[in-house]
Amino acid sequence: MTTAHRATPRTRAARPAPEVATRRADFPLLATRVHGRPLVYLDNAATSQKPQAVIDAITRYYETANANVHRGVYSLSEHATAAYEGAREKARSFLNAREAREIIFVRSTTEGINLVASSFGRTNLGPGDEVLISAMEHHSNIVPWQLICEERGATLRVIPMNQAGELLLDEYERRLTERTKIVALVHVSNSLGTINPVREVVARAHARGIPVLVDGAQAAPHMPVDVQALDCDFYTVSGHKMFGPTGIGMLYGKAPRLEAMPPYQGGGDMIRSVTFARTTFAEIPAKFEAGTPHIAGAIGLGAAIDYLSHLDWGLVAAHLEVPGVRLVGTAAHKASVISFVVAGVHAHDVGTIVDQEGVAIRTGHHCTQPVMEFFGVPATARASFAFYNTREDADALVAALAKVRQVFGG
């Protein structure tokens, strides 16, 4: 049996009880009971719950303003367009982009990365060139680069990490060469909770004229993001992980980078003119938003950003002591994502038993199979906290894990 470990994720779960109670009341699903017990939702890294304000904004659009955007001259369309583009301005403010046109609405972080890999990659990668990613990337920041590297004859290289789940920056520096055409890395690891030193990574790449893409899916729900301060070239997030709807996300790109890239998809709304001989394209952001967009999703995302703007972004250290549990990922700078293994118990069994206690956690490889291979485990259990989680939620997890050890004779 392994010894006890103490997890010290940076989390807001330790807020004063009255504020947490007020915030929890904003989220209808948190009142759910599971197997006769109050739901303890600790799978926020997979998807977060939605406040009533977001649900209401989506419903209000469909009930009072449902029309297509941009091309309609009637009042309903103009109202929908104003709401859609208003959400873009909210997104600009949320990420502190210089201009609203630097915000591209996409389906998700995954699509944002695929857009850059496809459009930037086809323009800038060739035989002998290299794409540099980190060892802790989600599959969404591995597979698109593998595909474009295979297509263009380029090579994918990896920044290694240590046993704590921290990038080895000296090794990163050595891998930056004249062949490196782009660096792509995660801001906060979804399986380890590591907060990467993005500003330093960007500065080292820019010293060599190399652009950087940042996967911000796990960062946006936990900390303020300032793309100008980070100075990254691209930054992408998913709405559903930051208390907004599914099927909507945003890609930030520096305007000169986006203007130099060819369209990702073709169709309506991304064109200036079309003949059978030639098509000319619209300016950004329209150039990258082919077809009818997810209007309700963008409006819902805007409502989520409004909600987040009223939160205290201070992060508090929370302690979790669980006998018989080994943490996977112990970086000095962590977000509120805790991956762990219970001695002698498969992660899926852990998840099944704690579910019977009303506790929802994630089990598996978390779309980071290379990370699991690095740490020598087939899978982990993962508890990921949001601002609406309480100390009582953490205690419920500890009690549920004690039940796991009891069932398996720990």
Query: What is the DSSP secondary structure assignment for residue 342, as one 8-state letter?
Result: E
> Rounded to an integer, what distance in angstroms lies between the CA atom of residue 64 and that of residue 184?
41
165-201 core/surface letters (b: 16 or more CB in 10 A; e: else): bbbeeeebeebbeeebbbbbbbbbbbbbbbbbbbeeb
> Rounded to an integer, what distance in angstroms lies between the CA atom of residue 67 and that of residue 189?
38
Q: Is 163 exposed, middle or buried (0-12, 13-18, 19+ CB in 10 A)?
A: exposed
69 CB neighbour count, 10 Å cutoff: 20
323-334 core/surface letters (b: 16 or more CB in 10 A; e: else): bbbbbbbbbeeb
* Residue whose token pair is 């989600």: 138
Residues 6 or more apart whose Cβ sits within 8 Å of residue 384: 42, 43, 44, 45, 46, 336, 337, 338, 362
Tokens of 374: 């690095």
Is residue 367 flagged as an active site residue? Answer: yes
Instruction: Give me the catalytic one of 255, 367, 377, 398.
Output: 367
Residue spans of beta strands (DSSP E) within 244-323: 249-253, 271-274, 279-281, 316-317, 320-322
> Rounded to an integer, what distance in angstroms lies between the CA atom of residue 7 and that of residue 185?
24
> Rounded to an integer, what distance in angstroms lies between the CA atom of residue 299 and that of residue 293?
11
Question: Which contiguous run of DSSP H or E holds residue 76?
Answer: helix 75-95
Which amino acid, one-letter code, is at 135? A
> Rounded to an integer, what distance in angstroms lies between the CA atom of residue 125 and that of residue 128?
8
> Rounded to an integer, what distance in angstroms lies between the CA atom of residue 340 and that of residue 338?
6
Catalytic annotation, residues:
367
